[in-house]
Amino acid sequence: MTQDNPLIDERDASFLLYEVFAAEALCRLPYFAEHSRETFDMYLHATRELARDVVFPTYKPMDEAPAHFAQGQVHSHPVLRELWPQIVALGVINAHRPAAVGGQQVPLTVHNLAAAYMMAANLSAFGYAMLTTGAAHLIEAFGSDTLKATYMRPMYEGRWTGTMALTETHAGSNLADLQTRATPTAHGHYLLQGSKVFISGGDQTLSENIVHLALARIDGAPAGIKGISLFVVPKLRVEQAALVPNDVAAAGTFHKLGWRGIPSIALNFGEEGRCHGYLVGEPHRGIQYMFQMMNEARINIGLHGVATASVAYHASLEYARTRLQGRAPGHKPTEPQLPIIAHTDVRRMLLRQKAIVEGGLALVIAASRYQDLAHHAETESERARASLLLELLTPIAKTFPAEKGFESNALALQIHGGYGYTSEYLPEAWLRDQKLNSIHEGTTGIQSNDLLGRKIIKTEGASLAALAEEIERVIAEAEKAGVDPADCERMRHALSCTRETSVFLIKLAVRDLEAALRHSVDYMDLLSTLVVGWLWLLQAARAREVLQRGGDRPFLQGKLCTAQYWLRNEVPRITALAALCQSNEDSYARMQDAWF
């Protein structure tokens, strides 16, 4: 049964790409000029087939037999050795990177949709590829030509893998306190010494070499985040065209709730004083470099959340269609039982998942499109506007799928009833996987402070004004397309509440920033609900237009029904959230340690 899981609904993917976000229009931009709907579809098709037929069947075995540490080495699941060359052959590691570094210049709008299939198929297996891309991209953006030739190239070619080696035992959310040291030498390299934790893919038996992009503090550097530099620290370093052990030791693996197919490692650099690190870019700018990659990294986490919720949604839909239990009210016990999808409450749980999954996918693809436009739109003002919207959407695109996706995954398990609680079915595994997404790459609390503090208050509402224009345009389009005026009015009212709340908080921040930020998690909930409401209204408008042209009724009716669900069940919550954000509710602010 699970073999038939579509992972991501195929019709939804093409609806989003072409009918909602007009991906073909991107091909008019010079950077994407080689592309067309045909090349997009080929890429999507190839990725989807591999994800469904080859990658997905490896998920359960990899979840059941996590990588283990033995003889100083982490042994990853043997199936990865067969899988990896096929993932590499697809070109996903650098498909969206420039031709100059071997890439295909595929828009992120398309690439991320393709990647979602791989993530839905096996988050951990694809994790090796994502981490490799991220690490290589840092070298591409900030590294010397030598580093690019020596380390970036084999990574983009999939011969070596990469990791991000940031976290230390006492420096997680707060990287300012990391202690790994880098001592300059006369030979140009640095000698690294320190320990890192939670390094995903930090050791394995998959690739010939592993390249860690590590943060460390050069001797004498200032304290805090201004004294942190970025280094390439390979497991094996290149010396005279040979690979030499670089004094990077795996110290053990963490036993994790989920993501069991990719090990999380404790790593020691320089136990023997012979760990070479190569500075990327300039000294003390490590955190800045990381920040420049942060939108991409965070949107990827959002994509994890959507993909993990999507595969579980489809499993629960299939289960609801085939599992027989109960009858309609008033029917005799001698009549056959019904598939549980016939029960309203089961459809409620399915529709809520669909609203979160497809709303979340629209959100991540919208953010991806702004990434494409921020870098490649033709005019400076178009790029600036896209960038403004991208900055605003990024913490939302990271957080909404993580938080609501977790709820969605719990519903998928719930639909499976008692069986859902067992490992005979996969929803329990996806629920375990999902939980990480509210933690890594900045917790929900950090994202919420970023959204309200940096994106709303610091821009004095400029990004929200741009978003409001987009929302107003969609409301007008929806009205024109014949969407229920009451639903359009709901969005208009919610937008007005949001503006009022934001203005209030921007003013409050001038005299009391802490008070303004107190309800940032509620503000995140508010703005996420609005943004997803906007994207559902947009989908409803497009669905109506396509229906009028005689489009595929069941799919489009489903879209309209799901939009209705979101606009009438979720969007009205905004009123209470707006009031809460504007209240001076200070319970947890004034709550003291001794009172707990």
Catalytic residues: 441
Q: Which of residues 336-365 bind its own copies (CB under 8 A)?
A: 337, 341, 343-352, 354
Tokens of 281: 């870019």
* Torsion angles phi and psi, residue 242, rounded to 5: -115, 160
For its own copies, the closer of residues 247 and 428 by Cβ is 428
Interface size with its own copies, residues (CB under 8 A) = 101
Task: Give the rounded distance of the alpha carbon of 400 from its chain centre.
Answer: 10
Query: According to CB under 8 A, which residues from 190 to 249 bind its own copies?
Result: 197-198, 223-225
Tell me how far, at minimum, the Cβ of 118 lies from its own copies, in Å. 22
Return the residues of window 258-277 that contact its own copies according to CB under 8 A: 258, 264
- Calpha distance 196→170 (Å, rounded): 10
Q: Which is nearer to its own copies, 85 or 485 (CB)?
A: 485
86 binds its own copies (CB under 8 A): no
> Toward its own copies, which CB reaches closer, 232 or 431?
431
- The least distance separating its own copies from the CB of residue 564, rounded to whole angstroms, comes to 5
Distance CA(462)–CA(443), nearest Å, equals: 25
Cα gap 92→90, rounded to integer Å: 6
The answer to whether the beta carbons of residues 120 and 54 sit under 8 Å apart is no
Token pair for 88: 């590499």
Burial, 418: exposed, middle or buried (Cβ in 10 Å; 0-12, 13-18, 19+)?
A: exposed
CB of 159 to its own copies, least distance (A): 29
Q: Which of residues 290-329 bind its own copies (CB under 8 A)?
A: 317, 321, 324-327, 329
Min dist. Cβ of residue 423 to its own copies (A): 4
Which member of 89, 149, 510, 579 binds its own copies (CB under 8 A)? Answer: 579
Contacts of its own copies in 134-193 (CB under 8 A): 167, 170-174, 176-177
Instruction: Tell me if 333 contacts its own copies by CB under 8 A.
Output: yes
How far is CA 292 from its chain centroid? 16
Contacts of its own copies in 543-562 (CB under 8 A): 554-555, 557-558, 561-562
Interface residue with its own copies among 256, 369, 542, 544 (CB under 8 A) is 256
Minimum CB separation of residue 270 from its own copies in Å reads: 23
173/176 Cα distance (integer angstroms): 9
Are 401 and 309 spatial neighbours (Cβ–Cβ below 8 Å)?
yes
Q: Which residues pair with 74 in a beta bridge?
A: 69
Helix (H) or strand (E) holding 213: strand 210-218
Owner of token pair 């399915």: 350
Place of tokens 């436009």: 373
| Rg, the chain, Cα only | 24
Q: Which is nearer to its own copies, 171 or 279 (CB)?
A: 171
Q: Give strand pairing partners of 68.
A: 75
Which H or E element spans position 531? Answer: helix 520-548
Choose between 112 and 308: whose C-beta lies nearer to its own copies.
308
- List the structure tokens of 292: 């420049």
Query: What's the rounded Cα separation, in Å, for the pair 503 and 462?
Result: 11
- C-beta of 186 vs 594, nearer to its own copies: 594
Stretch that binds its own copies, among 54-62, 297-305, 455-463, 586-594 (CB under 8 A): 586-594
Angle (deg, nearest 10), helices 294-322 and 427-434: 160
Q: How far is the CB of 476 from its own copies (least distance, A)?
A: 24
Query: Which residues within the stretch 428-457 sit at the binding site for its own copies (CB under 8 A)?
Result: 428, 431-432, 435-436, 438-440, 443-445, 448-449
Nearer Cβ to its own copies, position 413 or 508? 413
Residues 484-523 that bind its own copies (CB under 8 A): 513-514, 517-518, 520-522
Please give the DSSP secondary-structure letter assigned to residue 550.
T
Beta strand 161-165 pairing with 210-218: parallel
CB of 101 to its own copies, least distance (A): 31
Looking at 15-23, 384-392, 405-413, 454-462, which segment touches its own copies (CB under 8 A)?
405-413
